[in-house]
Amino acid sequence: MLKIVPVYAAILALLFLVLSLRVILGRRSNNVGFGSAGSDDLERRIRIHGNFAEYVPFALLLLALAEWRGGYPLILNALCALLLAGRIAHAVFLSRPSTDDIGRVLGMTGTQTAILGAALLLLAG
């Protein structure tokens, strides 16, 4: 029975809904039905949400498989927390119009490290 990853998956699902709502509100405030209509702010919101949707499901699948196969709870918690922190950092720092890319780097490093760690756990058996 999975006990660790589902908790983080639920928290990440809530974050996904927040990011979705930010896109919806951005579209409404800019009167845009599809795309970003050239709005830099809306384009950022769309890409933050899209990047989350591209990476998080795969990361959670790998983490859940690692837990299902008996992965170490401390390592799984660390990788899940790293994924969550990475996604928060990515969303917060990339939301700023004058980002210096450190938040993007931190966010993606956390996300990719979680994916790498889960993959290594699975390969180690």
Across the range 80-89, mean pLDDT stands at 97
Average of per-residue pLDDT across 65-92: 96
Q: Report the Cα 102 to chain-centroid distance in Å.
A: 16
List the domains of the chain with CATH numbers.
5-124 (1.20.120.550)
Q: pTM (2 decimals)?
A: 0.92
- Return the pLDDT at 95: 85
Q: How far is CA 6 from CA 12, 48, 97, in A?
A: 10, 23, 33
Q: pLDDT of 4-15, one tens digit each?
A: 999 999 999 999
Model pLDDT for residues 37-67, shown as the tens digit of each residue:
788 889 999 999 999 999 999 999 999 999 9
Apex CA 83: angle with CA 80 and CA 84, to 5°? 90
